[in-house]
Structure 1
Amino acid sequence: MLNVVETFSGIGAQVEALKNIDVDYKIGATVEWDIGAMYAYDIMHNGKQFLEDYRLNSKDALLSELSKFNLSGNGKDPLTYESLRHLPSVLLKAIHTSIERSNNKVDVSTVAARDMPDNIDVLTYSFPCQDLSIAGTWHHNQGGIDREANNRSSLLWQVERLLKDYRDTGKMLPGFLLMENVSQILSKKHIQNFKVWQDFLESLGYVNQVITLNARNFGVPQNRERTYMVSVLQEGGLEKKIIEDYFREYDLTNFRTNKNPNLSDFLRLNYANLVYRDEALLNSPNYTISREKIMKGNTILAIDDKVVGSVVGALTTKQDRHPNSGIVIYKNRNPTENARYRNITPREAFLLMGFKEESFDSLVENNIRVAKNRLFITNAKLHRFAGNSIVVPVLEQIFKQINELNEIKVKKGSYNLNLIV
């Protein structure tokens, strides 16, 4: 049994991966302040909410409870009390239900060791990448993960604060830590700060394994390279040499799936399906001069219903931009007069991140109408959730290794890897 805590949990790529492999697990807690992401996580992994049975019914009672949390409406900025007050009661109920059902501690900057479950096997932390990525440089976000930068990526040091709290209060440290972020964390600009982070973990007794993996080698036709670090606490039968020998022998940088992904399995080009057609229309921008640049400068994935590409570019939080992850050209089957192409739809983006289509459907079916013409989880939010997430099949292989190493503790140092397929 792996007892897992997901910080920066987003829509739950980690728990999605754990569901897909033959491993017993329990999600003891999550930490996420984005109200849209926490609602999506709850619906996708805990099922439909039944708000008619909810214990808090008055808006004042809901506001009193939710105002205790540091919540965000966009994943960047905190929600003010006034902003909360303008949300409909049904949405306030859904947000509070999401917090309760996922044991969400909400704010990574205030969560303490005492708030966490005991005997955590794995703590995951996919902290924001915006101030590390190349796109961050375009937006003049220069601080990276410098602890004084006071930006989103510097939230990494809140994980340091939390682990220090574990150490100082005598609470048992998590047996494994799992980090995911953009590969720019290894660049000349950021490597020294990353080395400081690694040195801190080593001072606590962890052995760090840093690997950079591309999703296209794990059964997903997406050219998405990310850096992962598995930190293994030396305890039980896990000594430094055993850990290092294990990762040397079972190096995931050499992993290649025996499944040959076909982009046609991920794109939804059958517009006789009215759901797919409506989603295509929603992601078909009017053809302007700036869109002409997008059309001419990005990879063509399909023409009408015929796939002509093999792999999409790395998904980002927006697709109506240049560069983007790829486009579908309209020639003979244009669903709208004002468009010449469409972008990847949120459904396709979720599939290209390794989520199942039924999970996406459950989220769409349980979306909340907050105004006559507005849903809580908008098309733009769905793109953001996917772009901020982690490719599930990559996590599957990493969790298989973590589970195997966890079993080594019980076996006192002997191992025989039998989970990687």
Structure 2
Amino acid sequence: MLSYNLFPELYRVPFPPPEKFSFTFIDLFAGIGGFRIPLQESGGRCVFSSEFNTHAQYVYEENYGEMPFGDITKIPMDYIPEHDVLTAGFPCQPFSISGKMKGFEDTRGTLIYNVFKIIEAKQPKVVFLENVKHLVYHDGGKTFKTIIEGLEGLGYICSCKVLNASDFGVPQNRERIIIIGNKDKKFDFSKLTPLPRKVIKDILDPPGSAFEYLKEPYTILDDCKMQPSGLMFAGYRNKAIRKAGVRPGTENLSRVHKQPNRIYHINGVHPALPSQETSGRFWIYDGVSVRKLTINECYRLMGFPDDFIKDKSMSEEYRQIGNSVCIPMIKEIIEQIKKQLL
């Protein structure tokens, strides 16, 4: 296949590598490039990428002009160049509430050890890892402790913090653990600058767009209250509710309804987009009617630009965006990494 680096005049892509750069990075478990866009915007040049899923690989190539290498367990170490920053949103399903939470029992959970091998061989200045919040608590904290001890054993001083995407300019309540490692000093998360919180209505498609309205029975609550998280549970599809631990008369609580049955008000933020919801059953209420979020709106919830080229399969689009990272949050972190550690 054509490569932008070899044939830039023939290979037009929306997000080409910068001609001038101040640091290099590698993009592991790259997905559709949620790390790559903000790191390039901050002056980084990607020198290697790896992604196992073939659908995501092709989307990555369409946007960046580079086909990522595949299975990280089979990449010869000498294929990976020296680099300043290693980024990895390593598979989160083994540690996610949405997944089975098997951790290292799931083979995807052990892929972090392949990351350790690359770190040991290439000694990047900065290690930048992202995962679901529940990683911190998985197996009573043992899993997280193992990862931190692994990085420390490689000579890195680690700093970690749970951050919420809604604090960085996107209307999504998406909490993620961020781990930053450096050989010389500890990263200071307190220097991150939050952005004003947006709400769902700030990222919606214009009136008259092709919307899919909910045509089956549903219930809208009389009183939609803003939660501390910014979520506004507005109602629910009239489907069976959860049974375990649910008391009668609690239909006004979002937790008794399965995620695809919940309806959220556009004056609040949206819950985290899961990768498992490939039908896009994300319902919003505008005060008059209930409809699905469009696929473009889902990508804006992650901070992706509108000119990003998506997969041709709708189910893959939903899976890929649910697996990605919040671009504005990553952008603020890399800006501080540059100031503090590079």
With the shorter chain as reference, the TM-score category is 0.7 to 0.9
User: How big is the shift at 1:389?
Assistant: 0.3
Secondary structure of 1:131's counterpart equals: helix
Q: Distance in 1 between matches of 2:272 and 2:137?
A: 18
Instruction: Select the structure that is richer in helix.
Output: 1
Superposed, which structure 2 residues align to 1:12-411 within 5 Å?
A: 12-20=33-41, 23-46=42-65, 101-102=66-67, 104-118=68-82, 120-136=83-99, 141-144=100-103, 146=104, 149-164=105-120, 166=121, 172-187=122-137, 189=139, 191-234=141-184, 243-244=185-186, 247=188, 250-252=190-192, 255-257=193-195, 259-271=196-208, 276-277=209-210, 280-281=211-212, 284=213, 287=216, 291-293=237-239, 298-301=262-265, 308-319=266-277, 325-328=282-285, 341-359=290-308, 362-363=309-310, 377-407=312-342
Instruction: Go from structure 1 to structure 2 and tell me whether the alpha carbon gap of 1:230 and 1:17 turns closer, same or farther (over 3 Å shift).
Output: same
Alignment check: 8 A CA contact 2:30 2:50 kept: yes
Q: Distance in 2 between matches of 1:313 and 1:196?
A: 29
Q: CA RMSD in A?
A: 2.8
Alignment check: 8 A CA contact 2:148 2:158 kept: yes
Secondary structure of 2:275's counterpart equals: coil
User: How big is the shift at 1:154?
Assistant: 2.6
Instruction: Go from structure 1 to structure 2 and tell me whether the alpha carbon gap of 1:232 and 1:296 turns closer, same or farther (over 3 Å shift).
Output: closer
Q: Distance in 1 between matches of 2:37 and 2:51?
A: 16
Secondary structure of 2:307's counterpart equals: helix
Q: How many residues align?
A: 286
Alignment check: 8 A CA contact 1:312 1:326 kept: no
Instruction: Go from structure 1 to structure 2 and tell me whether the alpha carbon gap of 1:262 and 1:285 turns closer, same or farther (over 3 Å shift).
Output: closer
Secondary structure of 2:299's counterpart equals: helix
Q: Distance in 1 between matches of 2:299 and 2:156?
A: 33
Q: Distance in 2 between matches of 1:41 and 1:221?
A: 25
The residue identity in structure 1 corresponding to 2:80 is M
Tell me the alpha carbon deviations over residues 27-85 of structure 1, each in whole angstroms, 9 at most, x when there is no partner.
10100021111111222233xxxxxxxxxxxxxxxxxxxxxxxxxxxxxxxxxxxxxxx
User: How big is the shift at 1:313?
Assistant: 0.8
Secondary structure of 1:27's counterpart equals: strand
Secondary structure of 1:152's counterpart equals: helix
The residue identity in structure 2 corresponding to 1:181 is N
TM-score normalised by length of structure 2: 0.75
Tell me the alpha carbon deviations over residues 146-182 of structure 1, each in whole angstroms, 9 at most, x when there is no partner.
2xx2432332222123334x1xxxxx41111111010
Q: Distance in 2 between matches of 1:296 and 1:345?
A: 15
Q: Distance in 1 between matches of 2:287 and 2:276?
A: 21
The residue identity in structure 2 corresponding to 1:268 is D
Alignment check: 8 A CA contact 2:137 2:144 kept: no
**Share of identical aligned residues, percent?**
26
User: How big is the shift at 1:327?
Assistant: 2.3
Q: Distance in 2 between matches of 1:32 and 1:312?
A: 28
Secondary structure of 1:357's counterpart equals: coil
User: How big is the shift at 1:188?
Assistant: 5.1
Alignment check: 8 A CA contact 2:138 2:144 kept: no
Alignment check: 8 A CA contact 2:27 2:86 kept: yes
Alignment check: 8 A CA contact 1:112 1:162 kept: no
The residue identity in structure 1 corresponding to 2:119 is L
TM-score normalised by length of structure 1: 0.62
Q: Distance in 2 between matches of 1:353 and 1:310?
A: 16
Alignment check: 8 A CA contact 1:354 1:391 kept: yes
Q: Distance in 2 between matches of 1:355 and 1:161?
A: 31
Q: What residue ranges of structure 1 are gaps of 5+ in the alignment?
A: 47-100, 167-171, 235-242, 302-307, 333-340, 368-376, 408-421
Q: Distance in 1 between matches of 2:50 and 2:215?
A: 39
Q: Distance in 2 between matches of 1:208 and 1:291?
A: 44
Structure 1 match to 2:230: none
User: How big is the shift at 1:198?
Assistant: 1.2
Secondary structure of 1:38's counterpart equals: helix
Q: Distance in 2 between matches of 1:33 and 1:296?
A: 28
Q: Distance in 2 between matches of 1:5 and 1:37?
A: 17
Instruction: Go from structure 1 to structure 2 and tell me whether the alpha carbon gap of 1:295 and 1:185 turns closer, same or farther (over 3 Å shift).
Output: closer
Choose 1 or 2 for highest CA Rg: 1
User: How big is the shift at 1:200?
Assistant: 1.8
Q: Distance in 2 between matches of 1:125 and 1:296?
A: 29
